[in-house]
Structure 1
């Protein structure tokens, strides 16, 4: 049997196991281990062992539990509630103001957490009920929450970009900096869309009643401190790292400690909050570590087969495709896979094939990491089986149907496609900041 056919059977077996509901790391790891033993006999057992050693020796992996703990402390201590109250008061007097404030909330939550699921949970439980109660159009605000949560894996500290860095062997710091400008541009594009649409159709986003807007300047300034807190936490973590005063791991520890101290100072830290934060941090961290271990094993088998060179030869020599056509086909495959897989699973499945191929085609892997995160988030929200759509359905109130959720996201998907096209056409949007910081 040829190596190309073996590679095809590996992918087919893995997809079949995933369709039966197996855990992502279990399906990928089992196929990798079985293929290694079948190809190289007992010597194949060295592959998972060497992958485990590589994982344990990757020092930046220590950032994962730190950032996840930071996010859960801020979430469980209800600091996000204070943020929404701030946006409620400051943005309420304009049409669509609360929806615009929700996007601002999502940006700050993303800077505190790094997971899109956390943003979705906060938006669905805090912002969505308030928006509906104040007469906002249910389809528009459902799309606002889903689109805003997509910023979680792009704005640093993005946990998904840490995983990409591990698999693609790229610096985490550069990837984070590469995600800053695209993330802010996308957030601004969401805000512009909401503002323009609510200006043209005021009934979609009514202003707050006059009595609720009559808040003293002193109260407004007091509430503004709620927005300063996450900025201070983020700055205490990122500024020393960008300046070169601390390593990435040290900065993550500073961020986790700053969040913990902030919860204590606000008298929100108790045994229940601490226990919930630690339990969830442990669960998420272990899940990611198992997935990375499986991905490294799978990638090692693929490298041994030479499958990447075979695919490169198929596209460039036999089919005669240019590098940009191949890149677009990769992005379309992400959109397709995103209808039934989450972003981590997609990365683990295709990284052994796509990342070396992208490098062989001459593209920048830092830039491609940003393209990957945006494309997978678009796929998350694409009907009929987008992961975020069903997550939203589970969290949304009963009056919001699945049809509402499907129709709500289409305008925001179009906005994200425009943002993706801009970053593909102008790579410096993503690469300018890391080049500026690291080349000084």
Structure 2
């Protein structure tokens, strides 16, 4: 059906949107199949997996509908309704016992194996990689895209691509068939993957990413991903992630509007640097950021900075953005003119938008209101925005918005659902690593 519609459309951007839809619908077929298998196992943990995957199915459908013209949306509306019904049914039968998610503090996610732990402790040059990328011909490939294409499909073991120092001008896609892939560089300021695709020049937001990764078990480490399109080009994504159980460690992600598209599924970011202007962390993943620097840049004239734009569309989706132990500060180019531009923690992209900032440093760039509207009263009663135990000149809550959905969290029990243990079911974690992951509220 989608292919038939695509062949009848001459608009380049609409054709691109339908290409996105084809990919998203294919991903949804696999997620539905995995969800059915998980539900049949009748365990609390497998039900949590199913809820995560079905949340991803709904996100895929909504992403598709957002991209295509309304007249082509009838079938998608039906798919969205079915996904919402499935999520509601699953929520109604899932036991409320959450003890299975409680684990030991200070470890790494259960999906990170013992070999992965050693890899994540190492620098790129010390890792025994399966493939090496080098511009000077000293590796197996000269581009990352070639190395990714050559990686095995549906690998059950970790496959490592080491990208040597250099600036690689390319757009790279890690498809759903490239499972358990790790890409590691020589450092966030040494190995740089750069692109400039953007909405203004005809590319969909979804397809504009310099690096897109939807393979399950994806790990990215010690690399910079950037989109250099600039603020005048509007939506221009540097990194898009939609692979379940993804880990982004010691990376730099730079762009302006829509820098990081945390599209869907469970994701974890550690010791990374994300910079941008409008909605520079957006999407509908279940995602936790720990010990990251979130940097607001100088926007174009008359623009406002929005750190987040979370896209939850249904109250049964197991999604949300959690920012913990992070610094939200101004970039060097914004700092001298910080009073000329307003910066907010986020705004509600979708009706049930859910974002919590906790135990973090908020610089003086944050507007006293804290949060901004998307459009009038939209989502102000249905969103969930929370702040818990933050510090810094921008952390005061006395002048924050008075929306029904905004919460100043004082009870640790209310903050716990936004920890690694509960939001992304972190599982068992590793304590004796160079990277100190925390699955609860105690650093």
TM-score, structure 1 as length reference: 0.25
- Rg larger in 1 or in 2? 1
- The structure richer in strand per residue is 2
- The structure richer in helix per residue is 1
Report which structure shows greater RCO (CA 8 Å, sep ≥6): 1
TM-score, structure 2 as length reference: 0.25
